[in-house]
């Protein structure tokens, strides 16, 4: 997004350094929990839908938190 807004590379990398690890570790925490529920609670026919719904919410949360 920074390239599309014609920001400097220094600004883009600085933002990446501050946001990358927190988002990555939050993703690790979320997706392990989601898959535990998927295999323990959700019926086989609904597993794909469950993961897609959580992924939709996750992408919305990431988009809202960055801008």
- Please give the full DSSP string across 23-54, using - where no structure is assigned: HHHHHHHHHHHHHHHHHHTS-GGGHHHHHHHH
Q: pLDDT tens across 22-66, in order?
A: 888 989 999 999 999 999 999 999 999 999 999 999 999 888 875
Q: What pLDDT, on a 0 to 100 scale, did the predictor assign at position 43?
A: 95
Residue that wins the pLDDT comparison between 20 and 57:
57
Helices and strands (H, E) in the chain, number of each type:
2, 0
Q: What pLDDT, on a 0 to 100 scale, did the predictor assign at position 66?
A: 59
Distances (CA, A) of 21 to 4, 25, 30, 52, 56: 23, 6, 14, 23, 21
Residue that wins the pLDDT comparison between 66 and 3:
3
Q: What pLDDT, on a 0 to 100 scale, did the predictor assign at position 19?
A: 84
């Amino acid at each position: 997004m920074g390239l599309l807004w014609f920001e400097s590379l220094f600004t883009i990398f600085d933002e990446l350094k501050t946001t990358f690890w927190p988002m990555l570790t939050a993703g690790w925490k979320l997706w392990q929990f989601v898959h535990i529920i998927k295999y323990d609670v959700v019926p086989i026919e609904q597993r794909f839908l469950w993961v897609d719904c959580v992924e939709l919410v996750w992408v919305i949360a990431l988009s809202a938190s960055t801008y």
